Amino acid sequence: MGMGTFIQLVVDGLSTGAIYAALALAIVLVNQATGLINFAQGGLAVLSSYIAYVFVRLGLPLILAIIVAVVLSFFIGALVERFLVRRFERGDPDTAVVVTVGLLTLVTGLCAVLWGYNNLGFPSLFPLTSVEILGAVVSVRSLATTVTIVVIMVVLQLLFLRTKLGLALRAVADNPASAAFSGLPVGRLLMVGWGLAATLGAIAGVLVAPQLTLTPGMLDTALVYALAAVILGGLSSPIGCVVAASAIGVLENLVAVYVPFIGHDLKIAVPFVLIFVILVLRPQGLFGRKVVVRV
Amino acid sequence: MSTVSPVLRNRSARIALTVVVAIALIAAPLLLPAFANQTLVRIGVYAVAVLGLNIVMGYTGQVNLGQIFFVGLGAYVTAYGVNHGWNIIVVFVAACAIAGIVGLLVALAAARLGGLAIAMVTIALPIVGVPLAKRLSEFTGGSQGISARFSDAPDWSGLYSDQWQFYIVLLVTAAAFLLARSLVQGKYGRAFGVVRENEAVAASMGVSPYRTKVLAFTIASILGGASGFLYLAAVQYTSPETLSFGHSISLLAAMVIGGAGSIAGSLIGGAYYVFVPQLTNAIDPSFTTLSQGAILLVVLFLLPEGLVSLPRVIRRLGRRRTARPTSGNPPQTAPAHHPVPEAAREGLENTERQDRP
């Protein structure tokens, strides 16, 4: 195994890392807005991918089907916030987490009833060819997936830092009470936050669906990776999550090939062994700061 | 238990009731058909797992999405021990102890972060556990699984195997529930409650939130291991499918639907875990997951304290309808946990305004 394999593994790892990063960012987005962890983020993304699949089957061009599904996902996310999660937002956070687990079960069950448990093929947005970079054969799909997610992250960052909507969203995340006093429609902004998170998840879903093929549990594993990235990067640090997700994607790929004992079946243990070691050595997380709570 | 009717406050009546229940449980397997015994046995198996989950989640407020991992671990240890000819008591102790030690190690790391981090770490347990179980095929039999027969009725007993299994499960389940009941009623139970309500208050009272969480998680894991032992006694076979992610979610749903923070609720949770999939499978297997999610959400909306609070809620509604004066009220339990529906529905601005003097 030469340098070529190594580069290929890194590029492939970056593209799966980008998928984890998109899910992790969606989780952080929801957490910033509503203070809870949405365990249904992956499940909602699977639903979005199935919606895109339906429109493809109806004869829409792939890119159009994806856009329709992504837009619909925004509304699904917003409605879930309004009619399901809102009631539990200010209560016990553990109950709210159980609500999202219930939502995950509901959505997974819904997909299973509507489309069954059999794997469905999903067309790829990008050509399945490969190009040669520095003597390594690299798949176009991996490169394009990474680039797409990076572009979306930049757009999201601009939205948050350069627009009035972004300012309002940040205000609500920072202090909902003050935001309400200054006349911001807090409820509607929370819906927008959930909608954006669902959109991000939907994009991750349709990008990874051709590779994984559609099943109701398609993103269960990806969700676990995304959560690992969130733990390593810190809930308060979107950049930290992206870095952690990319690192996990690359590391698991390398370990799967270069450490035969672990191999492809056990590579999911890699981020958690890492978390275990880090928590023992550095309890506040890699990028997070030690939180001091005033009673 | 403070809400049972006044008759039960009487000490002798309570003892009489306990004796009647005990006799009924001991006589039941001799009178019931085999299928009913097997169903009751499985309820006992999962009630112990749900009980463990309730200790860490219901009582201590730490969301645990990986309880099934410890059930599977206990089952595998049991299978290994039985197939290597260990004494059955040693097998039982090993199943509990190994699950407990692994739980302790996981908790020592996970409890260092805030409450939700435990949920995020424990979700990985079944997802790592399944490929791990397939990989360690020397111990686990790989994908095919492993069977171990130790719960067939011995000849001297003159019992059928389903009856013998019933007694094994009854013995362990009853012991687990009695121990858990004294645990949550004692000083550790109070420590669990304080940590769940407010960690800062707990710390100021000299209760270490970290140690309390680790303790609760370890006890939950030990009960998971015991449940795994019982699982093998009942099913005599285990495979990686036993510890799948979906089953872990079902355990959590069973705990919440039965009643978080309630010993009796754990028993109801065990019954839910066994009965409802049987019911939905009979109607249409593809609806099983969907109905589970729907039931869980409906219970969270309408009955946040679980099915165990149903009699109390009905009584309260009945009292309201008859509009009796509230003088002779029995202790009103736990309004603290109820979200105020009006406040939640109207959104943030309104509640903030109402809060102002």
Encode pLDDT of A15-63 as tens digits: 899 999 999 999 988 888 777 889 999 999 999 999 999 999 999 999 9
Q: Which B-chain residues 253-272 have CB contacts (< 8 A) with chain A?
A: 253, 256
Tell which wins on pLDDT, A177 or A61: A61
As a 3-state breakdown, chain B gives helix, strand, coil percent values, each rounded to 5, of 80, 0, 20
A92: closest chain B residue by CA: B337
Establish if B303 touches chain A: CB-CB under 8 angstroms.
Answer: no
CB contact set of B294 (below 8 Å; sequence gap of 6+): A106, A109
- Beta strands A130-133 and A136-139, pairing class: antiparallel
Residue A27 in contact with residue A238, Cβ under 8 Å? no
Tell me which residue in A97, A109, A221 faces B292 most closely, judged by beta carbons.
A109
Interface contact A227-B124, CB threshold 8 A = yes
pLDDT score of B314 more than 60? yes
- The ipTM assigned to this model is 0.87
Interface contact B127-A224, CB threshold 8 A = yes
Please list every residue in chain A whose beta carbon sits closer than 8 Å to the beta carbon of residue B108. Answer: 280
- The CA distances from residue A157 to A238, B30, B229, in Å, are 10, 69, 52
Please list every residue in chain A whose beta carbon sits closer than 8 Å to the beta carbon of residue B245. Answer: 217, 220
Residue A271 in contact with residue B131, Cβ under 8 Å? no
Between CA A42 and CA A35 the distance in angstroms is 18
pLDDT tens per residue across span B164-218: 999 999 999 999 999 999 999 999 999 999 998 888 899 888 889 999 999 999 9
A114: closest chain B residue by CA: B286
- Tokens matching residue B89: 């008591």
- Tokens matching residue B55: 């200790």
Residue B224 in contact with residue B46, Cβ under 8 Å? no
Please state the domain extents for chain A: 9-219
pLDDT tens per residue across span B143-162: 899 998 888 888 888 888 88
Residues above pLDDT 70, as percent of chain B: 87
pLDDT score of B328 more than 50? no
Between CA B223 and CA B47 the distance in angstroms is 10
Average pLDDT, chain A: 87
> How many Cβ atoms are within 10 Å of B354's Cβ, its own excluded?
11
- With 0-12 / 13-18 / 19 or more C-beta atoms within 10 angstroms meaning exposed / middle / buried, residue B15 is exposed
Residues above pLDDT 70, as percent of chain A: 95
At residue B349, the pLDDT reads 38
Q: From B309, B127, B154, select the one nearest A223 (Cα to Cα).
A: B127
**Strand, helix or coil for residue B238:** strand
- Long-range CB contacts for residues A271-275, cutoff 8 Å, separation at least 24: A271/A225, A271/A228, A271/A229, A271/A232, A272/A228, A272/B121, A272/B124, A272/B128, A274/A228, A274/A232, A274/A248, A275/A228, A275/A231, A275/A232, A275/B109, A275/B121
Residue B255 in contact with residue B266, Cβ under 8 Å? yes
Terminal-to-terminal C-alpha distance of chain B: 38
Interface contact B339-A87, CB threshold 8 A = yes
Establish if B344 touches chain A: CB-CB under 8 angstroms.
Answer: yes
Q: Per-residue pLDDT averaged across B72-101, rounded?
A: 95
Q: Per-residue pLDDT averaged across A233-246, rounded?
A: 85
- Tokens matching residue A95: 């109950």
At residue A76, the pLDDT reads 97
pLDDT score of B3 more than 60? no
Between CA B61 and CA B80 the distance in angstroms is 34
Interface contact A295-B201, CB threshold 8 A = yes
**Strand, helix or coil for residue B60:** coil
Residue A20 in contact with residue A28, Cβ under 8 Å? no
At residue B335, the pLDDT reads 42
Q: From B229, B223, B232, select the one nearest B251 (Cα to Cα).
A: B223
At residue A81, the pLDDT reads 92
In degrees to the nearest 10, what's the CA dihedral of B10, B11, B15, B16?
A: -40
pLDDT score of B255 more than 90? yes
